[in-house]
């Protein structure tokens, strides 16, 4: 299984940036890095994914280390609605399935 | 909405009875997945499908079977439900299999 390491929990204040770290030291050169989040009582939702370059979309930015052994999901201005469990995943050689770990529980304080 | 629905949303069943959960999609996506979510374990893959009649096991497949006779439906069956299968079950779909999964709202199953 493709293993990532994330902090169990993090806290942030509303309207401040949040940097969620992830270590994936066994990642191969062809594995994409994916981030999903799960709001309370909902199914997970896709946030962003990338291979080597930093990526931006309307939800977040993904910064990937040059050696690809770690990445950081950046929420530029946290809102209360961003309180969720954030999962960092890589496919581990499979192009057809993703294995989720336990993720990081993000708490956003008003 | 997202084009994926799970049924039922909630179910209570007795130990030893068969149970079938349904995942239905309107997106015509090739890949479909069943996950279970339990406290302390995160999401774990049970089975997945990469086409009609093409399925494979995930990391926690014991006690579960699946079927996909048409693109839009992926069924998860517990042949003889046990209390350890009490969980929240999520279905997901993907056009490519590699990224951009869309998840359903989940089925909360309680085996008593």
And the tokens for A64? Answer: 């990937």
Q: Apex CA B98: angle with CA B94 and CA B104, to 5°? A: 30
Cα Rg, chain A, nearest whole Å:
13
pLDDT, tens digit, for every residue of B64-100?
999 999 999 999 999 999 999 999 999 999 988 777 8
Return the H-helix or E-strand segment holding A55.
strand A55-56
Query: Cβ A44–B41 below 8 Å, yes or no?
Result: no
Torsion of CA A101, A107, B1, B3, to 10 degrees: 0
Q: Which of B14, B9, B3 is nearest to B106 (CA)?
A: B9
- Evaluate if residue A60 carries a pLDDT over 80: yes
Query: Cβ B98–A102 below 8 Å, yes or no?
Result: no
Q: Which of A34, A96, A102 sits opposite B48 (nearest CB)?
A: A96
Query: Cβ B42–A44 below 8 Å, yes or no?
Result: no
Task: Name, in order, each residue with C-beta under 8 angstroms of A46's C-beta and a sequence gap of 6 or more.
Answer: A34, A36, B99, B100, B101, B102
Q: According to the model, what pLDDT value does residue A95 have?
A: 61
Q: Which of A43, A98, A100 sits opposite B104 (nearest CB)?
A: A43
Residue of B nearest to A95 (CA): B98
What average pLDDT score do residues B49-64 get? Answer: 94
- Cβ atoms within 10 Å of B41's Cβ, excluding its own: 13
């Amino acid at each position: 299984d493709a293993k990532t390491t994330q902090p169990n929990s993090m806290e942030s204040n509303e309207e401040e940036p949040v940097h969620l770290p992830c270590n994936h030291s066994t990642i191969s050169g062809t594995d994409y890095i994916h981030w999903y989040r799960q709001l309370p009582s909902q199914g997970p939702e896709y946030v962003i994914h990338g291979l080597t370059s930093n990526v931006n979309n309307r939800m977040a930015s993904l910064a990937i280390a040059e050696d690809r052994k770690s990445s950081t999901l950046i929420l530029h201005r946290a809102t209360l609605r961003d309180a969720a469990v954030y999962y960092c995943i890589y496919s581990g050689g499979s192009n057809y399935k993703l294995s989720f770990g336990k993720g990081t529980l993000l708490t956003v304080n008003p | 909405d997202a084009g994926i629905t799970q049924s039922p949303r909630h179910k209570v069943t007795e130990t030893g009875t068969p149970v079938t959960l349904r995942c239905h999609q309107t997106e015509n996506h090739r890949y479909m997945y069943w996950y279970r979510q339990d406290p302390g374990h995160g999401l774990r893959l049970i089975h997945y499908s990469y086409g009609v009649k093409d399925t494979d096991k995930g990391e926690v497949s014991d006690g579960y079977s699946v079927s996909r006779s048409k693109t839009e439906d992926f069924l998860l069956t517990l042949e003889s439900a046990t209390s350890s299968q009490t969980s929240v079950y999520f279905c997901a779909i993907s056009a490519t299999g590699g990224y951009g999964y869309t998840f359903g709202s989940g089925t909360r199953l309680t085996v008593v």
